[in-house]
Structures are given as C-alpha cells and as structure tokens.
Amino acid sequence: MTPAAVVNPAETAANTLVSAKIFVRALSVVAQIGVYDHEHGHGQPLVIDAELDLDISEPERLAETVNYEIIAQTARAIADTGHIGLVETYAWRLATALLEDPRVLRARIRVEKPNALAPDAEAAGVEITLSCQGA
C-alpha cells in the first residue's frame, strides 16, 4: 500500500467550502441574572455554548476567522453590564453581538443556569439560533 499524497487545499480548485463552524463549549460565566428577588444582588453561574457558522474560505491567519477568545470576551462583557432578568435576554444579546461580525452567518447560543432547579435538575436554560439577513 502506498501512502496517500499530501494535498495542499489551496492548490485544489475543486475544493469548495460548504460551511465552517467554530464553537466554544461549557464556558463558565458569572452573571447577575434572574427575575426573583433572591436572584438580585449577587452573581450566579452560567454555562455557555456558542456555535457560529462562518463565511470564510481557507483561512490561514487568525485575522481571517473569528477568534474563540472573542466569544468568551463578549459573553463576559454582557454579564458585566449589570442585572439581566432572563437567560433568554442574555442569549439574545450574545447572539446579536456575535452577529455584528460580517463573517458570522448564524449564531446558536445555549445558556444553562445550573442552580435554577437544583437539586432536582442538573440545569435549566435556553437555546436560541439567530441568523443574519440574507443567510
């Protein structure tokens, strides 16, 4: 058996990027969040999953894609804005902020609130998907 030839994707015109996804899973964020009186005035843990569909082609440099750290920084910056009533609001704000990058075609955001139904449930939360116009 002969070894397969190493192919440089940039030299193969037949390669077409159908989709590119980047993701961050289980990002820990502390946010002041919740609608109940006992949830005001202190931070609560959130667990964030973010998945972005990108319009990129053969990225070679970090500047040609979306840096994972931008997702984490954006998630923490939204948490730092002050009290947010609903995890749905938090998820919407994060998705909207990430969609500001023109390379992002779709953002799927899942926000878990681990202590919401403890000890009866591992977590409760929301998952939303937003896409940019024309995607």
**Domain ranges in the chain?**
18-131
- Count other C-beta atoms under 10 Å from residue 87's C-beta: 25
- AA identity, residue 63: A
Residue 76: exposure state from Cβ atoms within 10 A (0-12, 13-18, ≥19) = middle
Rounded CA separation 21/12 (Å): 21
Instruction: List CB contacts of 42: < 8 A, sequence separation 6 or more.
Output: 32
pTM of the predicted protein model? 0.84
Tens-digit pLDDT profile for residues 5-36: 555 555 545 566 567 899 999 999 999 999 99
CATH number of 18-131: 3.30.1130.10
What pLDDT shows up at residue 64? 77
Q: What is the DSSP letter of 13?
A: T
Cβ neighbour number for residue 74 with a 10 Å cutoff: 19
Q: What is the pLDDT of residues 88-123, one digit of tens each?
A: 999 999 999 999 999 999 999 999 999 999 999 999
- The interaxial angle of helices 68-79 and 87-98, nearest 10 deg, is 140
Contact present, 71 and 50 (Cβ < 8 Å): yes
Distance CA 91, CA 1 (A): 51
pLDDT tens digit string along 28-82? 999 999 999 988 999 999 999 999 999 887 777 777 778 999 999 999 999 999 9
- The residue with tokens 């390379």 is 103
